[in-house]
Structure 1
Amino acid sequence: MHAKPKGVVLGPKDPTVQPSAAPAPKPAAERNSVHNLRLRPHAKVLVVGGGINGVGTFRDLALQGVDVALVERGDYCQGASGASSHMIHGGIRYLENGEFRLVRESVVERNRLLRIAPHYVKPLQTTIPIFSTFSGILSAPLRFLTHKQQGKPKERGAFLIKLGLSLYDSFSRDGGSVPRHQFRGHKRALAELPDLRPDVKYAATYFDASVHNPERLTLDVLQDGEKAGQSAPGAAAGQGSSARASNYLSLQSMTSRPNPGTGKGGTVRLRDELTGEEFDFTADVIVNTTGAWVDLTNEAMGTASRFMGGTKGSHIVLDSPELLAACRGREIFFEHTDGRIVLIYPMGDRVLVGTTDVDADMSQDSVCTDEEIDYFFDLVGHVFPKIPVTRNQIVYTFSGVRPLPRHDATQPGFVSRDYRIETRRPAPTGTGAVVLSLVGGKWTTFRALAEHLTNDVLAELGMHRKISTAQLPIGGGAGFPADDAGVQRWLKAHMGRGRDADRTAGLLTRYGTRAEAVIEYLDAGPDRLLHSTRELSVRELEFMAAHEQVGHLVDVLIRRTSLAFRGLVTGELLNEVAEVMSGPLQWDAAARSAEISHAQEVLQRLHRVETHSLVA
């Protein structure tokens, strides 16, 4: 792999493009995703950034028939989008910041995603343990007015939480699909959650939603956009897809040189991070959705800005049967002693604990520190004092930088989670691309945000919206079984060729109803499960290589599957997956060894996952 050229500042600081860890350039033929952009190096709109907001905007624009391209320097959903708390929520705690518009929109979008993405977005029962009745009543108005914590935090008592939950429920009146909140007294609280602190006074329970596979949901949204581009009028006329996207393709610089055919727009220099090759690409409008790196992206394009002030949030994943049992299938969502709202969240047979909220050092990789781990253990002890947790139970850690607006003296916990769009146009007498920069944005509102961004882009292009995404199913959510009985019918209909119920259920979980296309691919040739895991087969890995833009071995472990997240990566798995992927990705022996070493380094340095493998 070529070292990162001087002056390249786009995207998250990504271990897959660092010279100390990345494999050498592949001898393989040019990737299809890059080839499609080089073949026709112009688009009306270029989206820079492949997190959920960029990908959502790409999809919406493609559905409107816009000629759109997307580039992402690392892998899709690799930055903040892949480092979230895996929640789709209205943001009840934003109420005390006065962000009523955002909370209302978030609740509406939460309810909508439960309908249009049911394969990944599920209802999440959430309980708040409460240890006082009236605490915080006097300090809450001051926090609301100043957005600052004055002195030692005053614990939010039952009165404030009841008020907030009542308001929260009111936002779900139109189209709400989750139950209203409930309050339990001391005895009922301990009856439902007996491992809670014995001095708990109340337990407030309400519903939000979870997304256990944010990376795969992002891929679904992306593929929806690509599919829309293939059916556009230009594609039908033999002009190629009007929606093209590539990961591992970074924006290096921009000039005002217009498209020679139209005399409009500007020119950007793109670099293939897997081969080091560069080429020019022109666009009339550029949408900057690079999250916390928006300012650095604008700087690379020669239009410096000071919009961003992201904060770091870390999480740990625990293999703790005792803690898992204590949660009783619920997220425990509460205020820690420092006033920070934190969570303990069961995910399958693992428990997610998070999150911190500290100012980020953008010159450093975002990693979970020892101090943050101590904080997480302390917060577990705050509500479950009799349940021991140790570092030996940590199977995975992750950390990301939230794309928050610049906040100067405002404390991180009070920084707005809302979003805005900044527009820069070329001088009336000059040329160049219009640049729209997204400031802020959160997972829950990605569809609404993408709609807003798309409407702004359409206005710049003099076009009108053709279709709304509000009721449009996402990817494998189309036709997804509505209940357990429906799931069982689907599984029975799709078992076969040695594929049992567990394996078939795993495919439905990973792909939603898009599993039908995967199963068709699996059944088209001889296949076998891997020796190192029963969750993957040879032909499924080949399907990922052919259809999901896998660039590195580590992409499979972290973002195409949840194997790393659940602590299931072994040296044997690394070797076996690398061997299978070597064929379709044309890795020779040296490249395969480099990919294994690279995956080990990324997992250890960024996620505290140790693997031991004899690299061939």
Structure 2
Amino acid sequence: MQGLRQRPHAKVLIIGGGINGVGTFRDLALQGVDVALVERGDYCQGASGASSHMIHGGIRYLENGEFRLVRESVVERNRLLRIAPHYVKPLQTTIPIFSTFSGLMSAPLRFLTHKQQGKPKERGAFLIKLGLTMYDSFSRDGGSVPRHRFVGRKRALAELPLLHPGIKYAATYFDASVHNPERLTLDVLQDGERAGTVNGTAPGSATARASNYLSADSGAGVSNTGTGSIVRLRDELTGEVFDFTADVIVNATGAWVDLTNQALGASSTFMGGTKGSHIVLDHPGLLDACKGREIFFEHTDGRIVLIYPMGDRVLVGTTDVDADMSGDAVCTDEEIDYFLDLIGHVFPTLSVQREQIVYTFSGVRPLPRHEATQPGFVSRDYRIERHTGARTPGEGAAVVLSLVGGKWTTFRALAEHMTDDVLAELGMDRKISTAKLAIGGGAGFPADEAGVQKWIKANMSAGRDADRTAALLTRYGTRAEAVISYLDAGQDRLLRSTRELSVRELEFMAGHEQVGHLVDVLIRRTSLAFKGLVTGELLNEIADVLAGPLGWDTAAKAAEIHRAQEVLERYHRVQIHSLVA
């Protein structure tokens, strides 16, 4: 944040710290562009952090006729498996199928109108086989996952015994998952910051600077000067306001693009986001029933839903309803009922109780305005809108490039397209492609389990056993080597309330990962909240450690603890007791 204050100008200002804004930041920095990024909350706090944690080609988008998007998504899925192997892993996916020819008549109508006419007709084996065959065809060049296979009822139940006994077939194919989307976003961000580091360490000298908790002030608008367009920025931690100038503004605020443009004096009506919710279950029976696979299927209302393991937890999602932008995106009781019902649809003998839900999350997808089109049929493709900000008498208009749409899987390709558009505005040429460039801790990541074990053995120490070392590799990829050097440079100890963190690791996060609030550590620097591992003791202990490096006095520390409690309860249905008095 200090770097932006001390040199309040950049060629390009990106507003929005989700994966698409951060991806564009990295790409522009690699081209040598003087770029700044601001995010009003924490990085990956919005829709990017509320995804289904999948990196996938989007087989269901074939029904929408989005062949370009599916082809690009499959290519990018395969690419991310190579350049971000520390976070992106192959995911075996099984579709339980209950009929053979169902949906043959209604599918063409859905394809042509993007609407569901009458009671949904489930997709039968013939349609699913056709879709998977087409899906495989997009992976022919550079594909790194096996092709799909079909089995009958007997074989399906032998592989997954708790599936509904009424199934007729099961189709299995591979996509990919990202278990740490928040940390992958941080890796992409830090790649950009490193690319923008110039000789010397003078404050503000870097040509790629980013700050969370820094928003475009809603009352400022955009005006123009001889040195660029002025945007008023507000520090959300201190309340300080200052002006920042840029030649090009990239609006990557997702579902809030129109609201951001309104604040910039460039009103638009591009967006029509839909809300998607998920629940996380601590349910050993359901975990075992999945056998390490994603169960991906069509529920009774025609909505495509999923159940899949994430470590020792199970993720269930997702809904797709028009979002009310005036309220919070939270998982409702009705959505939870829906999730419990869909689990029973494929695993009818399993009992799942609300008490087994350890975490919920919701986000608003940054979809284009869709008028009468039903949410499930709204395009997941993206486009870039060029428009101009408010005019100042005697001056030109500020160029604003707004991102409409976008999904996790295609963030690298999308960032490449946005960067090329920005370079055209600046009259610059691309210097480097990101297509084969490893992301963060994916560089040099072990290629197989033997390599992982070798890495763990090489980085263990007297005070750090194999489990702790493996946890660091999982959290940081090969960036864990720098973290371990930091840990070993002083006296360290594990927290009393969890074996997943140590005192010096928290200090490393505070000093190197732009932690603004206690809750940032719980939700986005670690998976403690996602796993349902947050306790009152943990909150107090982490707050005690962070207080020093972040300058919290007793009152600020207590406020952070209660803020974390409020966020977890309000947005994630997590209730924490035994807090500080």
Q: Same fold (TM over 0.5)?
A: yes
**Aligned residue for 1:518?**
483
Aligned length: 578
**Aligned residue for 1:537?**
502
Match among 136, 139, 147 for residue 172 of structure 1: 139
**Aligned residue for 1:21?**
none
**Does the aligned pair in 1 maintain the 2:12–2:247 contact within 8 Å?**
yes
**Does the aligned pair in 1 maintain the 2:222–2:265 contact within 8 Å?**
no
**Aligned residue for 1:567?**
532
Residue-by-residue CA offset, 1:421-441 (whole Å, 9 max, x unaligned) = 000136796334210000000
Aligned-partner Cα distance in 1 for 2:462–2:230: 51
**Aligned residue for 2:552?**
587
Aligned-partner Cα distance in 1 for 2:241–2:208: 21
Any idea what SS the aligned residue of 1:230 has? coil
**Aligned residue for 1:208?**
175
**Aligned residue for 1:445?**
410
**Does the aligned pair in 2 maintain the 1:153–1:337 contact within 8 Å?**
yes
Q: Report how far residue 255 of structure 1 moved.
A: 4.8
**Does the aligned pair in 2 maintain the 1:47–1:288 contact within 8 Å?**
yes
Aligned-partner Cα distance in 1 for 2:201–2:530: 41
Q: How does 1:351-500 map to 2 (within 5 A)?
A: 351-425=314-388, 430-500=395-465
Q: Report how far residue 280 of structure 1 moved.
A: 0.3
Match among 71, 88, 94 for residue 121 of structure 1: 88
**Does the aligned pair in 2 maintain the 1:83–1:399 contact within 8 Å?**
yes
**Does the aligned pair in 2 maintain the 1:88–1:110 contact within 8 Å?**
yes
Aligned-partner Cα distance in 1 for 2:167–2:301: 18
Show structure 2 runs of 5+ residues with no match: none
Residue-by-residue CA offset, 1:223-242 (whole Å, 9 max, x unaligned) = 000000004x7x68997000
Q: Report how far residue 254 of structure 1 moved.
A: 4.7
Q: Which residue identity is paired with 1:79?
A: G
Aligned-partner Cα distance in 2 for 1:299–1:473: 37
**Does the aligned pair in 1 maintain the 2:221–2:263 contact within 8 Å?**
no
Any idea what SS the aligned residue of 2:476 has? helix
Match among 291, 294, 303 for residue 257 of structure 2: 294
**Aligned residue for 1:156?**
123
Aligned-partner Cα distance in 2 for 1:277–1:74: 15
**Does the aligned pair in 1 maintain the 2:3–2:204 contact within 8 Å?**
no
Aligned-partner Cα distance in 2 for 1:513–1:256: 42
Q: Which residue identity is paired with 1:413?
A: G
Any idea what SS the aligned residue of 1:431 has? coil
Match among 202, 212, 217 for residue 247 of structure 1: 212
**Does the aligned pair in 1 maintain the 2:223–2:398 contact within 8 Å?**
no
Q: How does 1:47-62 map to 2 (within 5 A)?
A: 47-62=14-29
**Aligned residue for 2:575?**
610
Q: Which residue identity is paired with 1:288?
A: N
Aligned-partner Cα distance in 2 for 1:50–1:497: 39
**Does the aligned pair in 1 maintain the 2:56–2:74 contact within 8 Å?**
yes
Alpha carbons of structure 1 residues 198 and 482: separation in structure 2 relative to 1, 3 Å:
same
Residue-by-residue CA offset, 1:159-189 (whole Å, 9 max, x unaligned) = 0000000000000000000000000001101
**Does the aligned pair in 1 maintain the 2:2–2:204 contact within 8 Å?**
no
Show structure 1 runs of 5+ residues with no match: 1-33
Aligned-partner Cα distance in 2 for 1:334–1:302: 44
**Does the aligned pair in 1 maintain the 2:223–2:229 contact within 8 Å?**
yes
TM-score (norm 2): 0.98
Q: Report how far residue 615 of structure 1 moved.
A: 1.6
**Does the aligned pair in 1 maintain the 2:388–2:398 contact within 8 Å?**
yes
Residue-by-residue CA offset, 1:20-48 (whole Å, 9 max, x unaligned) = xxxxxxxxxxxxxx110011000000000
**Aligned residue for 1:146?**
113
**Does the aligned pair in 2 maintain the 1:134–1:160 contact within 8 Å?**
yes
**Aligned residue for 1:509?**
474
Identical columns (%): 83
1:194 paired with 2:161, answer yes
Q: Which residue identity is paired with 1:356?
A: T
Aligned-partner Cα distance in 2 for 1:581–1:185: 55
